[in-house]
Amino acid sequence: MRFRFIEEHQAIWKISLMCQVLRVSRSGYYRWRRRPLSNRSQIRKSLQEKIKVIHNTKHKDNYGSPRMHRELLSQGIPCSENTVAKVMQEAGIQARIRRKFQITTDSRHAHPVAANVLNRQFDQSTGPNQTWVSDITYVWTRQGWLYLACVVDLYSRKVVGWSMSSQMTKELVLDALQMAIIRRCPKESLLHHSDRGSQYCSEEYQRTLKVNGIQCSMSRKGDCWDNAVMESFFATLKKELIHRQKYETRASARHSIFEYIEVFYNRERLHSSLGYQSPEMFEQAV
């Protein structure tokens, strides 16, 4: 419809020019704008407003139409994913694009390396504490690098252990592992997977795994896909949080990351692999 075309493009061209080109009167266009909205249009406008509210919520402006659709349903708002996608497109609402993740593993050491027992079987867990994956990433602050180690349960994608430090040492990953063990009290059937970095291959780390009856698995050399779930988590963290702000201090980065993991990611963020539930909701449903 010509009037709708003018409405959608008035930010680009003058209304008078479009009316002239499309051979409609300006008075007719303005009468069309003042007309009462149809019931369908009112519903669509209301949906757009609700989508904008969610999009402007902290961390949720990264939601594409599938996750936005599930968020709306969780709030009791009936809609189809196709409608959500169209409304988002009309409103110019887009999810942020994920940046490429940079690998930091240093496997140049003389420590023994475990076999790749996990072998990319990321969806085989039937309950919590069957398979954990772990890795390290880094965050830049004006005070220097802040290193973050995390342990994730493959069953629910929940971050069960984490640690932050100004140095990438074995203590960094040990602290994350100890947090996970204290929180979860795993049984001896647990499999732990990581890359073959020196921190994970250290005697202290391997001793901690053995004492707690945890089997060790490690990625093949130079193959980030063997630990794809951890790579994906860190990519999400950086897209939704780290790359969106500049940290003056390591302390401010610590606080921000803590809030993201414990308040938002584990308890609120909807995961497509979990049927659009948060890790906490998914585990509680067991």
- Closest by CA position to 152, among listed 221, 216, 230, 90: 230
Looking at the predicted structure, is the pLDDT value of residue 96 above 50? yes
pLDDT value for 206: 96
Does residue 38 or residue 102 have the better pLDDT?
A: 38
What DSSP assignment string belongs to 257-281? HHHIIIIIITTT--BGGGTSB-HHH
Residue percentage of the chain with pLDDT more than 70: 90
pLDDT value for 172: 96
Question: For 50-68, how does the pLDDT look when each residue is reduced to its tens digit (9 = 90+)?
Answer: 888 887 775 666 788 888 8
Mean pLDDT (the chain, rounded): 87
What DSSP assignment string belongs to 90-146? HHT--PPPPPPPPP-----S-S------STT-TT---STTSEEEEEEEEEEETTEEE
- pLDDT band of residue 82 (cuts 50, 70, 90) is confident
Question: Are the beta carbons of 160 and 180 closer than 8 angstroms?
Answer: yes
- pLDDT band of residue 130 (cuts 50, 70, 90) is very high
Does residue 172 or residue 124 have the better pLDDT?
A: 172
pLDDT value for 70: 87
